[in-house]
Amino acid sequence: EDKVVQSPLSLVVHEGDTVTLNCSYEVTNFRSLLWYKQEKKAPTFLFMLTSSGIEKKSGRLSSILDKKELFSILNITATQTGDSAVYLCAVRTGTASKLTFGTGTRLQVTL
Amino acid sequence: GAVVSQHPSWVICKSGTSVKIECRSLDFQATTMFWYRQFPKQSLMLMATSNEGSKATYEQGVEKDKFLINHASLTLSTLTVTSAHPEDSSFYICSARDSARDRDSPLHFGNGTRLTVT
């Protein structure tokens, strides 16, 4: 059975802090790893990673994948209150492009 | 950008009735759509893969007779929760992949439907 595990489950930080969110996986037929941000409703897409060691960056967010050790991290620098959300890691497997989601990390950024 | 519209956004129904949830891709075609279920403070659990013009593929433990999926066109998939019970109360989210893009392109999510069964 495919498994995606995220840590920590929840995190409270002060505005301006830097956070690192972790995602490890055990799946068969790996295709890619995706990060999503979920505030109240639909998850919104952040990054898709397919190759090891290549950092993807978007503003204050960045992510990298290690296919040998089977994990990914999502970094957020200079956090803002608007970053408060649940961050979901998902792994795509097989030909059907099925996504298996991790448990999510609930991030709260306080003033 | 690609938009997925899900309707209704919330619904309350009585135990024993059926509820239909629609998922539409507004500006792209989707031969494949996915239905997820999310309990409070938990992650998204894949229920089934909906394939246009053919039967849906259900995940282990999901009752196909209870959660009927129809994907009759390239832009619409429906999930019908039949004979709903209070334990079916949950947040249901659909997602779709743009058929014109490669298989590894990101999925686009609807805004979800919060179902409450009384």
Residue B42 distance to chain A (closest CA, Å): 6
pLDDT band of B43, cuts 50, 70, 90 = confident
The residues, any chain, with a CB within 8 Å of residue B105's CB and separated by 6 or more, are B97, B98
What is the structure's pLDDT at B16? 96
DSSP strands (E only) in chain A? 3-7, 10-14, 19-26, 30-38, 44-49, 56-58, 61-66, 71-76, 85-93, 98-101, 105-110
**Is A99–B95 a contact, with Cβ atoms under 8 angstroms apart?**
yes
* A46 touches A37 (CB < 8 A): yes
d(CA A4, CA A42): 20
**What pLDDT digit, counting tens, does each position of A47-105 carry?**
999 989 999 999 999 999 999 999 999 999 999 999 999 999 999 988 767 789 999 99
Q: Residues B76-92: what's their mean pLDDT? A: 95
What is the structure's pLDDT at A105? 96
What is the structure's pLDDT at A98? 79
| B32 contacts chain A (CB < 8 A) | yes
pLDDT band of B33, cuts 50, 70, 90 = very high
pLDDT band of B2, cuts 50, 70, 90 = confident
Q: Residues B41-52: what's their mean pLDDT? A: 89
What share of chain B has pLDDT > 90, as a percent? Answer: 71
Q: Residues B39-48: what's their mean pLDDT? A: 87
The encoded tokens of residue B101 equal 């893009």
Distance of CA A29 to the CA centre of its chain: 19
User: What angle (nearest 5°) sits at the alpha carbon of residue B24, between those of residues A29 and A43?
Assistant: 55
* B92 touches B113 (CB < 8 A): yes
Query: Is the peptide bond preceding residue B8 cis, with omega within 30 degrees of 0?
Result: yes
Strands B113-117 and B10-13: parallel
What is the structure's pLDDT at A73? 98
**What pLDDT digit, counting tens, does each position of A87-98 carry?**
999 999 887 677
What is the structure's pLDDT at A1? 83
- The interface residues of chain B toward chain A in range 56-115, judged by CB-CB distance below 8 A, are 57, 93, 95, 97, 103-104, 106-112
What is the structure's pLDDT at B6? 96
What share of chain B has pLDDT > 70, as a percent? Answer: 99
pLDDT of B41 over the 90 cut: no
d(CA B46, CA A17): 34
A32-41, A88-97, B6-15, B24-33: which range is least confident on average?
A88-97
- The interface residues of chain A toward chain B in range 19-38, judged by CB-CB distance below 8 A, are 31-32, 34, 36
